[in-house]
Structure 1
Amino acid sequence: MSVKKVFDPNTQQNDLSSKIVVGLERISQAFKVLLWQQAKELGLSPIQIQILIFIAHHNGPLNNVSALAQEFNVTKPTISDAIKVLERKSLVIKDHSSPDSRSYTLLLSNLGQDVVKNTENFTSYLVTQIDKLNEEDQKGLYRILGNLIYQLNKNGILSVQRTCYACKFYQKTTSNHYCHLLEQQLKDADIRLDCVEFEANV
């Protein structure tokens, strides 16, 4: 099977899927630009800001070196180096209360919480643009993104997934979706991409 040259403008002229892939790549660039702008203002790296924002919204078991490395698809040494800087800047605190004395989870310091408040809105421009879409377009876009993320995870490209599709409580029904934990039907827009109650379907 021949491989599509999606970045070749001649290929894009006659292939809609290639255009969509290029569009996703441009949006990825936008995320990087917006994140770098915030990082430069604070003297932090993008991964350091991402770690702070992630810790602010996730519980202890996900806030250790191994879990963070998997979350951001980087090596443990990369995460450890980032944590050293955050600790030196008094933005995070290591919690060694785990029974395993060698491991720790990360908590935000008061200063770290202030940094998150001032940085987690780096996506506000993108949110504003998406808010301009009508509701049906938003629902359609979300459904497509959810399925794409699930397939990328299934094929080992994304290492972490906490979406309904991969959860043991999820069931696809003829009408829509069903969550056995919430005991209710779900619409496409109800599907979560980062569920705190997620349990892997193994």
Structure 2
Amino acid sequence: MVDAAGAPDLNRRLADAVERLGNGVRALAQRSARDCGLTPLQQQVVLALVRQPPVRNEVTVLAAEFDVTRPTMSDAVAALERKGIIDRSASSDGRRRVLSLTAEGLAVADRLQVWDAPVTEALDRIPVDDRAVVLQSLLGTIADLQRRGVISVARVCPSCRFFERDAHDDAAAPHHCSLLEVALPPADLQSDCPEHHPAA
């Protein structure tokens, strides 16, 4: 499909731009993971364990989080255990195995914290209002892909049952979170909300 000027359709160009950005992000992840002696998936696991609540630090949950099979995630976790980066311990109910970072793992996680600095630095040169619009658009797309079954886990505002889009007349804060009972500006939308409850 082409637009009136004969250029590729805007949606196609946006999808191509997202793909190119994804390629760049993957290249950064591969480079930083390699520098720490890890695979990109192992890097994702390390960063997840330092950033997300302990209740989500299980092999099955992480497999869904990163859209890989449970055996693939188990292999990544086993390799991290062999490297002394993570430990497994019994959960409080004794039925599950919870993952946590060792002292060495915390040091690795600290090194990895800035792996995406070239991306965040490039974004920092874009006006805040423009970044907020892009964030809102991307989170809406992620929520739609999750509804279609393309993405397994999406704890983004637009996929949450507490999110009310365009609930307020205020253009600066048009959305509403009925869990927190607050108006939400586009810049405050969450990409990984710990209070997320999937919409029906």
Number of residue pairs the alignment of both structures matches = 192
CA-CA distance at 1:92 after TM superposition: 0.6
CA-CA distance at 1:60 after TM superposition: 2.1
Indicate the RMSD between aligned Cα atoms, in angstroms.
1.7
The amino acid of 2:32's aligned partner reads Q
Q: Give 2:134's match in structure 1, choosing from 114, 138, 141.
A: 141
Stretches of structure 1 lacking an aligned partner (at least 5 in a row): 6-11
| Cross-structure match for 2:91 | 97
What SS does the corresponding residue of 1:36 show, helix, strand or coil?
A: helix
**Identical positions, percent:** 30
- The separation in 2 between residues aligned to 1:106 and 1:119, in whole angstroms, is 18
| Cross-structure match for 2:177 | 179
Alignment check: 8 A CA contact 1:70 1:160 kept: yes
| Cross-structure match for 2:193 | 195
Alignment check: 8 A CA contact 1:73 1:159 kept: yes
What SS does the corresponding residue of 1:192 show, helix, strand or coil?
A: coil
**167-176 or 72-81, which deviates more:** 167-176
CA-CA distance at 1:136 after TM superposition: 2.1
Q: What's the CA shift string for 1:69-99, capped at 9, x where partnerless?
A: 1000000000000011101111111121342
Stretches of structure 2 lacking an aligned partner (at least 5 in a row): none
Matched, 1:40 2:34: yes
| Cross-structure match for 1:8 | none
CA-CA distance at 1:164 after TM superposition: 1.6
* Counterpart mapping for 1:32-181 below 5 A: 32-101=26-95, 103-172=96-165, 173-175=167-169, 176-181=174-179
- Normalised by the size of structure 2, how large is the TM-score? 0.90
Alignment check: 8 A CA contact 1:91 1:108 kept: yes
Alignment check: 8 A CA contact 1:98 1:104 kept: no
